[in-house]
Structures are given as C-alpha cells and as structure tokens.
Chain A
C-alpha cells in the first residue's frame, strides 16, 4: 500500500456548502415522520433517506390540540441511536433555544416548523448562528427566499400537514415554481422591482433568476399520503418529499413506506407507480381543507 502526503489543512465545519450539500444528498428521497425508534427502523428499512423525529405526528397534533413544542430529548436521542440515516427534528418558529437544544443533541437537520405552535409572531430564528443546517417551509417564492436569507439550507413547500390532502402541497409548489419561472423572464431592470414585490433580498432574487431554481434543495411536504401523491409532487418539480402522518396513520406502514419510496424514485414511470399503489391497505382518512377553521391552517404560520 502506497501512501500520499495529506495537506493537513484545518477542517471548516458549518459552511453554507456543507449545510446545503447535505440536502443535495437527500434528493430523490423520502423523509418520514416517526415518533418511536421502532418506527424509525421501519422507515430506514423501507428506504427513507432521513427521518423526522417528533412526539406527535401532525394528524395527532390536530386532534389533541394544545401547544405543540419541541420533542423530549430522550425521545430524539432514542431515534438517533436506532438508525444510521440522518435524523431531523422540529423547533417552533422563532424558538432559537429549542434549536440550540436540538443542535446540542446532534440532530442532522432542524426543521423550523409551522406544525409546532410558533414562539415568535414576528421573527424566525437566525439560522446562520448554527452549525446544524435548517429546513423551513414556504408557501411562495418570497417566503422561501426570506428563509434562505435567514440561513435556511433547504426549503420545503408547506402544504397542509396532518390532513392527508395533497391540494395545498400542490398549490404551494406550483406557486413557488411559477414565480421562479416568471423571474426567468424578467430583464435586469425589472429584478429590482421584483425583489421589492417578493419582499426578498435582491441578490437572492437575481441568483434565482439566473439559476432558474432556488439556490438550495426544494422538497415538498404537507398532505402526501399515497405513492401517486409523491410521484405527483416530483413531477411538479419537488426534488424529494416529506411524508408526515401519511405513513404511520395508515393500515400497513412498512408496506406504504416502501411503496412511497419506489414511487418517488420512479415518479415518471406510471407502471412502477401503479405497482407501488397495489394492496396498500387503508390510507389515512384525511381532512378536507375547506372544513378546517382558519386558526388550524398551519401553512399560514410563518411569513
């Protein structure tokens, strides 16, 4: 065995490239909500690229009500110990101390999430202050860019979590993609006014106009319950999907989880999606968004 000299240069942690690059590794994959180490292992065995550790899935938060907060550190550590894939966990919007706790536990990604009850109705957390990368939800391009300006290294369209209804996920992803498409058609003079309309930093707006995409990975979340839902979000331009209540609120979680993974990879092959959709047992019941009172629209949390 021959050896070569190493440079021994000082390693730098927490850089934007390392944080955003982590999300690039998740592309094409499914991130699943889990509430126990056992569920985390089922998710990993089904081919999930990461799990989201939380105490209650959004569907249960809806039913049980009350203030939804960061999960118990013991529960998060139990899940970290159970799997080798990355583990994410949620902090409340603007609750930077919950985020500090999650970072200290060694989670791989922090979701500053509207599914939990917001702690600050004006400010989101300063995400540049952390080594751990953040993912944040967005309903439109301006919101996505404001989160990126605050340091988010990954964006997910919000959808409406815990409903099993994909309609809001479709609306938000179409909105973001549509606004990116519009920026592409603007000339340099128009980008300044566009930045003002989007209430987003000009430099980010210009970057999106040039790239034709966000400068970070874009996943979809909130309402995906079936393999076809996941494939739909991929065909609409999501680079991967989060599945919350859809898996462990269904009849056969292991089977449904594996099926959603397959449909996410072969999202453009209807035969694979058809096979993945067979005999999955009962899907989660689902909620029609129209019947939700305004205060229970999670997507309206954050700005």
Chain B
C-alpha cells in the first residue's frame, strides 16, 4: 500500500485543509459522509469543527455505530481538536446527548485552553516527529485530562497532554492541517500503511 486511501469525515469542519494535507503527505484523500463509504478506506481523519455538531450529525445519519465498529476492527483514525474529542472514551463535561466514537482510553476536557480570545499558536514537540517542534495552532482547544495504560502521550503543552496515540488511533488538540507543516499527517499516513 504505497498510496493509501484516507477518508476525511465531512459532516462539518475543516475538511478541505485535511484533504490537502493528506494529499501532500502521500495519501489518496476523499470526503466521507455515509456509512457505506467506510468500506473503501484504509484510514480516516475526524477533522476540527464543533464536536457537538459532529456528534449530532453522525448519530442522525447513522454513522456512529458503523464507525465504532470500524474502530474496533482496527481502522486507523486521526482526530484533530473536535476529532480528538470524538475519539475519547469519555468527555469530562459533555453536552446532554453528546456521544463520541471513542477508541482512545482517555478523558478529555472541552475548550480547556479557553474561548477564542485565548486561542494561540505555540511550538510543540511531538514524539515520533523528527525535525524540531511542529507549529501548534490551538483553537478553543481541548486537552487530555488523563489517559489509560495503553495510551502513549506524544506531546504536552505547559503540563497538559495535547497529543496521544493508542494503537492505530492518533489524536491532537491542535490543527496541523492549518499550517504548511505536514509531518503529523505523514506520521498518520505511515501508521495507515503499517496497519495495511
């Protein structure tokens, strides 16, 4: 699998930026909005967006259960920001009825770094990404409160966990897709290749 096919969950959020970053990182990328489209992909990105909206739309259009099954079956998934929330087994402060896909044994706190006025950029060292810190763009970003034994912490910012990996699942609080730096997407594309 030299050029894996990676879908971007296209219910809402910064889908186009992920498609471009995945293409630059060597994948064939396309949007995914329906359960039957999950069959044709080697990996999936859950983009940034509003986690409450993505959660509701996924449930409404019958994507939640098929995606959970795909994750249990080993589908590699990368989530950024809202995507990180969607991959968490538990949200500390969920809105009523907000359900995640889960898969990563962690508890996340939504909007943990604050509202938009507190949104920021900072360099972040990510384990497994060579060549110096990545440009971290944090927008009303969540952080990871705690992780289980199977979860590897890849990065922290000021003492808070902002990147994790568990098996084929990768998640970051920040948005590499908004920068021209594709190294985190390359890390995910290699994980997809290895899983295939």
Contacts and interface: CB of A to CB of B under 8 A. Distances in A.
* Interface core residue of B15, B125, B152 (most chain A CB under 10 Å): B125
Nearest to A217: B14
Interface residues of B, number: 58
B12 A27 contact: yes
A265 B116 contact: no
Interface in A36-73: 44-45, 47-50
Given A25-B48, A28-B49, A11 B120 contact: yes
Tell me whether chain A's interface is mostly helix, strand or loop, or mixed.
loop
A107 to B, nearest CB: 8
Interface in A1-33: 1-15, 17-18, 21-22, 24-29
* Interface core residue of A21, A50, A103 (most chain B CB under 10 Å): A21
A19 B138 CA distance: 11
B131 interface: no
A25 B115 contact: no
Contact of A265 (B33, B96, B139): B33
Contact of B124 (A7, A12, A103): A7
A51 B14 CA distance: 19
B155 interface: yes
A287 B170 CA distance: 50
Contacts of B111: 84
Given A2-B153, A4-B125, A18-B139, A29 B12 contact: yes
A49 B191 CA distance: 31
B13 interface: yes
B120 A24 contact: no
Contact of B158 (A8, A28, A261): A8
A86 interface: yes
Given A1-B153, A3-B153, A28-B15, A86 B116 contact: yes
B153 A11 contact: no
A44 B95 contact: yes
B131 to A, nearest CB: 13
A65 B137 CA distance: 43
Contact of B11 (A6, A103, A265): A265
B81 interface: yes
A35 B12 CA distance: 25
Interface of A: 1-15, 17-18, 21-22, 24-29, 44-45, 47-50, 84-86, 103, 106-109, 131-133, 261-262, 265-266
A48 B178 contact: no
A133 B116 contact: yes
Given A18-B119, A22-B119, A25-B82, A6 B14 contact: no
B182 interface: no
Given A13-B118, A106-B115, 6 more contacts: A6-B157, A11-B121, A12-B120, A25-B82, A44-B95, A261-B56
Contact of B125 (A7, A14, A109, A261): A7
A123 to B, nearest CB: 24
B60 interface: yes
A6 B125 contact: yes
Nearest to A15: B121
B122 A12 contact: yes
Interface string B105-143: 000001100011111111111110000010001111000
Contacts of B175: 21
B17 interface: yes
B70 interface: no
Q: Which 3 pairs across A and B sit closest by C-beta, in order of nearness?
A: A11-B120, A108-B116, A28-B12
A100 to B, nearest CB: 12
Contacts of A3: 153, 156
Nearest to B154: A4
Contact of B123 (A9, A26, A48, A133): A9
A10 B122 contact: yes
* Interface core residue of A4, A25, A48 (most chain B CB under 10 Å): A25
Contacts of B11: 28, 265
Contact of B140 (A22, A132, A261): A22
B149 A21 contact: no
Given A9-B133, A86-B116, A2 B152 contact: yes
B190 interface: no
